């Protein structure tokens, strides 16, 4: 099995993958014009250059079959573009993270039933482990030899860790002015980390160029993006299974490229189609930081397309000014009765602290964005407080400690003396 | 149900806990003289002041019963001092972390079969979530109102998060010169974080004083320590269950207070006694950093007791100079055919990197200590390379980023140009 990506990134040539390399996936389909392509390292439609996504020919799939699987996203193998023997390959085995019944938050927010899907429990502590694991499988089945990405954080961690575990090469491109701690957290996996003198847009552009020029590379979010994106469906699958094979009424999802939101919607549709859950309407809401809110702005203005913005927010993991899935996010929100909103950075920090204080979950800035938007949607009357609601916490506060610096700290500093302690404590009690 | 801790911390008075408050636990027993005490907020023997541990009157417990439980440590409720309805209380629900089949590491180290029990997947990313969850239950059942600890890191995170989720007060005492990032990662949960002008020993001493003077406090690692320590047994339970209800031949465990190691041994003994696994010898090895290796030194010198040391190592989470369980660790190692060894800080860093490079697991310094000791034990001929071996990774590299600073980083810095990239890449390939 060999595969070579040619110089035209949209029409790469490839060897023939083995039978069943992509499980029940049967083809790629253009999200713009509906034209079909064969499964391969393709990401743009040959007819209209629209984005491709994975199509399936599903057999009967049962709850029992899924429940008998491993405690990771691979239990959903029949619903993903991965082979039946996926669990036998070395991967970080992400997923099956906690769905926290957030009763304290529900009480504070005035919601009847509220859950936090806490993806900080993944191997590198963000939802990116899910998408990278599926991209890694596609790269392997297509015979690609290098796993790569442009990134400023979570994706770099996930790619570097997954490639290390799989024993393949990885290349991570980051802006050279990235914070030292973020560089360390990826470089430790011995990835080929390349610092680029430029901003994230420059890095991204270079990545696309490399994907077009070099043979055998899998840029997870570029030329194997259709497979990569399918990984986000597992958030919907897990939420449904963890609720007892039942859908919630409302889901609030952070929006960067928008892919997580659209694939959660796709996952819900597939669960219903396969009879794994009872059909019911699920309203899907999107959350952005005001400093990078192109989709929220487009929603508010009633547009179908998204006008790019220059990001300026502490929520770096959501700071994509020109989101690839923007129009599709607008469509999902409008179709399901959801909405896209944004909150400012001060609100983001307040809600990182709220999530930690009420539920003991330390989310990254994206978690603060999402919880802030939940509160805003309640205040605006958009979220039904009597309906069962789920929010996604997509990453870990340990990666964005700067956001709370100067905001939290010791309540007092004392000498190591019981008397000093007792004075302080009496003051607190009074 | 009320409970009051009196002024004598070893003989506190208490109300009567509800029936079944401690599950199958039936009494406390002195590890030194064997005298029994009733279940209560006691930690020192009334006869000899020796340390107390929890004793049980186990009924028949089956694998099926455990497997039907929640995907957290609460599936082992019948083996812990917690009530049958424990899962209905708000906790961080730690445990059931990955047991990684570390084939890449096994190949590099020359081991036939090697697994890493990766406790960085816990809610606050260390094994401390396990022990704190059990301590929290004991505090609740004993009617104590404040969850507290002295700590320099992982324990503070775990206590603050667990108390937030449970909706009770917490107090965390830390040295005032603790790194800002460690203060942030606890303070974000809105715990009463008190900075103490002194070193960890001063902080610890003050904690014991407060535990003795104040009513209603549960210092997790002081006055409810017997319950707290039982949480570490779940590491043994999970390893056995995840191996298919089978014990490994050798386990390598980091040693700070030594409690994790002795309770893993206790957990193994209980599994065998209850017929949940087939009886077989399991050799238990301990790992320390040379800069704080009192137990390793005592082992080498053939002593039964441990001479306190002043810690000087980057492995701060293992830097307990006067380990409470020291003598018991020596006993377990000698009884099971294990050994206690230590490695220097340079080796620690090299093995943090090795774990990340080979298996995509970014462990904290304690993980580097433990893997470094695995390699040393192989080199010294102490670990049988043909026997199945498990090591514990007890925490997360994101909490000890400083350890790899200056050690890893970009392989190159280039302008955002394909030509510059291609030149670099050709050089790498050459």
How many whole angstroms separate alpha carbon B213 and alpha carbon A304? 66
State the average pLDDT over residues B261-266.
Answer: 98
What band does B15 get if pLDDT is binned at 50, 70 and 90? low
CA dist A309 and A295 (Å) reads 10
**DSSP state at residue B16:** P
On whether the CB atoms of residues B23 and B82 are closer than 8 A, the answer is yes
Cβ A245 vs Cβ A63: under 8 Å: yes
Residue B7 pLDDT exceeds 90:
no
Inter-helix orientation angle B259-273/B326-336, to 10°:
50
Contacts of B75 in chain A (CB under 8 A): none
**Across the interface, which of B181, B194, B357 has its CB nearest the CB of A411?**
B194
Best of B96, B353, B356, B393 to mutate (most A CBs within 10 Å, chain A): B356
Could you say which of B193, B409, B421 has the minimum Cβ distance to residue A410?
B193
Residue A176 near residue A183 (C-beta atoms within 8 A): no
A362 contacts B124? CB cut-off 8 A: yes
Q: Say yes or no for a CB contact (<8 Å) between B185 and A417.
A: no
DSSP string, B348-363: HHHHHHHHHHHHS--B
Closest CB from B121, B164, B210 relative to A121:
B121
Cα-atom radius of gyration of chain B, to the nearest Å? 22
Asked if B360 and A164 come within 8 Å (Cβ–Cβ), the reply is: yes
Distance from B4 to chain A by nearest Cα, in Å? 18
pLDDT higher than 60, residue B149: yes
Instruction: For residues B91-100, give the mean pLDDT.
Output: 97
Decide if pLDDT at B21 tops 70: yes
Q: Which domains are delineated in chain B? A: 1-430 (3.40.50.1100)
What is the reported pLDDT for B199? 85
Tell me the chain B residues in contact with residue A401 when contact means C-beta distances shorter than 8 Å: 181, 184-185
* Pairwise CB contact (< 8 Å): A409 & B183: yes
Contact A281, A247 (CB under 8 A): no
Quickly state the pLDDT bin for B10 (edges 50, 70, 90): very low
| B164 to A360: CB separation less than 8 angstroms, yes or no | yes
Mean pLDDT of chain B: 94
Cross-chain CB nearest to B414 (options A196, A362, A425): A196
The predicted-structure confidence for B293-315, as pLDDT tens digits, reads as follows 999 999 999 999 999 999 999 99
* Cα B4 from Cα B14, distance rounded (Å): 5
- Considering only CB atoms, which chain A residues are within 8 Å of B368? none
Provide, as residue numbers in chain B, all residues whose Cβ is less than 8 Å from the Cβ of A356: 161, 164, 188-190
The β-bridge relationship of strands B25-30 and B52-56 is antiparallel
Return d(Cα A155, Cα A221) in angstroms, integer.
Answer: 9
Is residue B228 scored above 90 in pLDDT?
yes
**β-strand pairing of B412-414 with A192-196:** parallel
10-residue mean pLDDT profile of chain A (430 residues): values are 36 70 97 94 92 97 97 97 97 97 98 98 97 98 96 94 97 91 94 93 92 93 95 98 98 97 98 98 98 98 95 93 95 98 98 98 97 98 98 96 94 96 91
Per DSSP, the three-state class of A393 is strand
Question: Could B418 and A123 be called an inter-chain contact, meaning their C-beta atoms sit closer than 8 Å?
Answer: no
> Could you tell me if B404 and B365 are in contact, meaning their C-beta atoms sit under 8 angstroms apart?
no
Asked if pLDDT for residue B253 goes beyond 80, the answer is yes
Confidence at residue B12, expressed as pLDDT on a 0 to 100 scale = 44
Nearest to B210 among A174, A184, A421 (CB): A421
Contact B23, B84 (CB under 8 A): yes
How close A248 comes to chain B (CA, Å)? 21
């Amino acid at each position: 099995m060999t595969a070579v990506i040619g110089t035209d990134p949209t029409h790469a040539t490839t060897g023939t993958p083995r039978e069943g390399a992509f499980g029940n996936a049967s083809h790629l389909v253009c999200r713009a014009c509906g034209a079909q392509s064969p499964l391969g390292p393709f990401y743009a439609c040959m007819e209209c250059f629209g984005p491709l996504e994975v199509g399936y020919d599903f057999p009967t799939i049962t709850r029992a079959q899924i429940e008998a699987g491993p405690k990771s996203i691979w239990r959903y193998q029949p619903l993903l573009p991965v082979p039946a023997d996926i669990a036998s390959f070395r991967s970080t085995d992400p997923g099956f993270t906690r769905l926290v019944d957030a009763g304290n938050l529900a009480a504070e927010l005035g919601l009847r039933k509220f859950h936090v899907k806490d993806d900080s429990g993944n191997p590198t502590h963000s939802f990116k482990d899910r998408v990278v694991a599926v991209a890694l499988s596609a790269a392997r089945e297509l015979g690609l030899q290098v796993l790569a990405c442009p990134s400023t954080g979570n994706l770099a961690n996930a790619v570097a860790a997954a490639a290390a575990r799989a024993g393949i090469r990885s290349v991570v491109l980051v802006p050279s002015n990235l914070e030292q701690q973020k560089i360390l957290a990826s470089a430790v996996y011995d990835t080929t980390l390349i610092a680029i003198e430029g901003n994230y847009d420059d890095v991204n552009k270079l990545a696309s160029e490399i994907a077009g020029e070099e043979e055998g590379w899998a840029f997870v979010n570029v030329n194997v993006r259709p497979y990569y994106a399918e990984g986000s469906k597992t958030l919907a699958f897990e939420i449904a299974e963890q609720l007892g094979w039942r859908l919630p009424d409302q889901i609030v999802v952070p929006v960067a490229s928008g892919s997580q939101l659209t694939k959660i919607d796709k996952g819900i549709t597939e669960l219903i189609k396969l009879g794994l859950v009872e059909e019911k309407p699920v309203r899907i809401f999107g959350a952005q930081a005001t400093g990078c809110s192109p989709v929220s702005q487009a929603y508010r203005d009633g547009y179908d397309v998204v006008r790019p913005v220059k990001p300026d927010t502490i929520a770096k993991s959501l700071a994509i000014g020109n989101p690839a899935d923007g129009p599709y996010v607008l469509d999902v929100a409008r179709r399901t009765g959801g909405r896209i909103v944004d909150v400012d950075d001060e609100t983001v920090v307040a809600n990182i602290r709220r999530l930690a204080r009420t539920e003991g979950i330390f989310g990254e800035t994206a978690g603060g964005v999402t919880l802030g938007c939940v509160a805003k949607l309640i205040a605006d009357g958009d979220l039904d407080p009597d309906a069962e609601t789920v929010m996604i916490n997509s990453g870990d506060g340990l990666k964005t400690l700067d956001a709370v610096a100067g905001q939290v700290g010791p309540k007092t500093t004392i000498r190591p003396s019981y008397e000093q302690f007792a004075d302080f404590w009496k003051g607190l009690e009074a």
